[in-house]
Amino acid sequence: MADKSEEELQKLSVEMRLLEQTAEALQSRMGMVNAAANDLMYAQATLDGLEKEGDKSEVLVPIGGTSYVRAKLDNPEKVIVGMGAGVSVEKTREEAKEIIKKRLEDIDKTRKSIQQQYSQIAERINLDRERAETLIAAAKERKPQENV
C-alpha cells in the first residue's frame, strides 16, 4: 500500500514540475504579447496624433536609446506598415489604423487564450498539490503505527 502512495507521490511531483515549467513559459509568452500590444498601442496613438498635424509639421522621431531627431512631415497621410517577413508597404493613415486595430484585436485574443491556459494549469497544480499533501499526511499517520 505504501509503495503505491510513494509511486503516486513521485508521479505528482514530476507532473507538478512540468506544469510549473509550462506556467513559466506561458508567463514569458504573456510578457512578449504585452510588449507587442504596447508597441501597437504606441503606434496607434502616434497615428491618432498625426491627424492633428499638417504637412511640414515638425515632429520628434525616436532613434533608440531614448534619443530623438527632429523631422518635418512630408506627407502625414501616407504610412509605411510592416506586413511581416521583412516586408513593408505604403498605406494611407486610415488603412494603417485599421491594420493596427486588427492586430490589437488578435493580440487580445491571444492574451485571453494564454490567460485561460495559465488558469487551467494553476488549477491543476493546486489539485496536484492538495493530493500530494493528502498522501503525505496519510503516510505520516501510517509511520507511527508501523513503529508500534
What digits encode the pLDDT tens for the residues 48-97?
Answer: 888 887 777 888 888 999 999 998 888 888 999 999 999 999 999 999 99
Quote the pLDDT of residue 2: 61
pLDDT bracket for residue 141 (50, 70, 90): confident
The DSSP annotation for 38-71 comes to HHHHHHHHHHHHHTT--TT-EEEEEEETTEEEEE
Residue 66 domain-assigned? no
74: Cβ contacts below 8 Å, ≥ 6 apart: 55, 56
Query: Could you tell me the CATH number of the domain that includes residue 131?
Result: 1.10.287.370
Whole-structure pTM value? 0.77
CA distance 96 to 51: 12
H or E element, residue 1: none
18-38: per-residue pLDDT in tens? 999 999 999 999 999 999 999
Residue 73 domain-assigned? no
In the numeric block, which cell numbers belong to residue 7? 509511486
In the numeric block, which cell numbers belong to residue 65? 536609446
Q: Which domain holds residue 110?
A: 2-52+78-147
Residue 68 domain-assigned? no
pLDDT over threshold 70, residue 146: no
In the numeric block, which cell numbers belong to residue 110? 491571444
Question: In the 8-state DSSP scheme, what is residue 75?
Answer: -
